[in-house]
């Protein structure tokens, strides 16, 4: 009987650990993807703003859009954990 209780405890601990790993991957990978997107968008935004100051608002909006991906990753991780 004690061996069965230990097996159940190990299975429950494994489930909690895998949920935490999945949550960490969802935030981490979306953060990396956003960084890659921001790299190209940011450099193009600086070039466009240097040529024409009137596009600053549009460029600012376009640089913020990829950051919503991280927010989605955070929401998914919170849904996994709770």
DSSP E strand stretches across 30-76: none
Q: How many CA atoms lie within 13 A of 45 on its CB side?
A: 16
> Under CATH, what is the fold of the domain 2-81?
F1FO ATP Synthase (1.20.20)
77 C-beta neighbours (distance < 10 Å), count: 20
Angle at 80 between CA 7 and CA 25, to 5 degrees: 95
Q: Are 78 and 26 a contacting pair, CB within 8 Å? A: no
**pLDDT, tens digit, 9 for 90 and up, residues 12-48:** 889 999 999 999 999 999 999 999 999 999 999 999 9
Q: How many CA atoms lie within 13 A of 11 on its CB side?
A: 6
Closest CA to 48 of 39, 37, 60: 60
Domain boundaries, the chain: 2-81
Confidence of residue 57 (pLDDT cuts 50, 70, 90): very high
Model's pTM, two decimal places? 0.79
């Amino acid at each position: 009987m004690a061996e069965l209780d230990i097996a159940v405890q190990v299975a429950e601990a494994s489930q909690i650990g895998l949920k935490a790993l999945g949550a960490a991957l969802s935030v981490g990978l979306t953060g990396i993807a956003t960084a890659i997107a921001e790299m190209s968008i940011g450099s193009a935004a600086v070039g466009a703003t240097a040529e024409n100051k009137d596009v600053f608002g549009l460029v600012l909006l376009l640089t913020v859009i990829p950051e919503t991906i991280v927010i989605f990753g955070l929401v998914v991780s919170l849904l996994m954990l709770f």
